Amino acid sequence: MIKRNIPRFWLICLMLLPMIGIMLLAGCGGSGDKNSWYNTVDPTMGGRWVGSWSSLDNTGENQIGVLDMTVVSPSGNITGTIASATNLAPANVAGSINRNGSYNVTYTYPGGVEENLTGTLVQQTNSDPSLPAHLVGTITKKVNGITTGTTSVDLIYQTSLQNQANLIGHWKGDWTGVDNSGNSSGGIAEITVSSSGSLSGVLSNGITSAPIIGAVTPAGGVVAKYTLPGEEATTLTGAMVVQEFVDPVSLLVVRYLQGTLQRSIDGVNDGASTFDLLKQ
């Protein structure tokens, strides 16, 4: 019995060797495929993200602004623009993000030096599927390669894209706001968005008024600041969208610039303001 089984045993081994070789080759190549997969992004992350950022540098100074970026799927490459309350002229952003959320972008404001944001961003979905997802995280900021502090990012996925041409023009309408203490405010805002993306106009609270200046990115990311008499300087950041409606009487198309923006004083969140502006 034993003598007869020995040749059969070796025959089985010979038959298995090619299969084992194929498995080993697949295993060796698997790491490359895995790395390739790791360096891509989930399809749900591809698209346009717009929202606010706030930074705290090593000297204790706060800065805030708006980031408008597009993630290309599946490569994870990033393009877009960034603007701050101190650098209202937007800068071009370039970089990448991978499946694990590892994020790295660079940009240079006009007349400035290269800045870099690096860290991890996490995609957060809402329990209400009708609400857009957020891309959030606190990441490291570097200037000329030197770490200067941290930056917190909260970006909103843009379900409907718009171009710069839709935002250009003169807008006027109502705004309402609530600060962190629950105090309400409101009034009239009148702004003009230029072809270069600059924002200028007047904001009134019904008693006093003040000039408002800022920048608008192509997807509606906004950073603007104003100082009402007797109050501290206020900065608005976030995203606005252009909505179109057909007037039932005239049957003409009317456009509104709408959105809720985060309100900050000295870089510290102080509630939000909602704008509903009619195209003039």
| Residue 113 covered by a domain | yes
For position 190, which CATH number holds? Answer: 2.40.128
| Residue 22 covered by a domain | no
If asked whether residues 129 and 177 sit together in one domain, one would say no
For position 124, which CATH number holds? Answer: 2.40.160
If asked whether residues 235 and 145 sit together in one domain, one would say no
| Residue 266 covered by a domain | yes
Collapsed DSSP state (helix, strand, coil) of residue 5: helix
Structure tokens given for 36: 């390739």
| Residue 152 covered by a domain | yes
Q: What is the DSSP letter of 44?
A: G
Count structural domains, the chain.
2
| Residue 153 covered by a domain | yes
If asked whether residues 99 and 193 sit together in one domain, one would say no
| Residue 12 covered by a domain | no
Full residue range of the structural domain in which residue 265 is found: 164-279
If asked whether residues 227 and 192 sit together in one domain, one would say yes
If asked whether residues 108 and 197 sit together in one domain, one would say no
User: Which tens digit of pLDDT belongs to each residue from 206-252?
Assistant: 999 999 998 888 778 888 989 999 888 898 988 888 888 888 888 88
Output the pLDDT for position 164.
Answer: 64
Output the pLDDT for position 143.
Answer: 93
> Would you say residue 108 has pLDDT above 90?
yes
**The overall pTM is greater than 0.85:** no
> Would you say residue 81 has pLDDT above 60?
yes
| Residue 10 covered by a domain | no
Pairing verdict, β 198-204 and 221-226 = unpaired
Looking at per-residue pLDDT, the higher value among 155 and 161 belongs to 155
If asked whether residues 146 and 190 sit together in one domain, one would say no
Output the pLDDT for position 32.
Answer: 47
If asked whether residues 216 and 262 sit together in one domain, one would say yes
User: Which tens digit of pLDDT belongs to each residue from 4-49?
Assistant: 555 665 556 566 566 655 555 455 544 445 455 556 777 888 888 9
> Would you say residue 161 has pLDDT above 70?
no
CB 91 within 8 A of CB 110: yes
Output the pLDDT for position 95.
Answer: 96
Least confident of 22-36, 44-58, 61-75, 253-267: 22-36
Output the pLDDT for position 31.
Answer: 46
Output the pLDDT for position 35.
Answer: 52
Collapsed DSSP state (helix, strand, coil) of residue 19: helix
User: Which tens digit of pLDDT belongs to each residue from 180-216?
Assistant: 899 999 999 999 998 878 889 999 999 999 999 988 8
- Average pLDDT of span 99-109: 93
CB 69 within 8 A of CB 51: no
Looking at per-residue pLDDT, the higher value among 147 and 268 belongs to 147
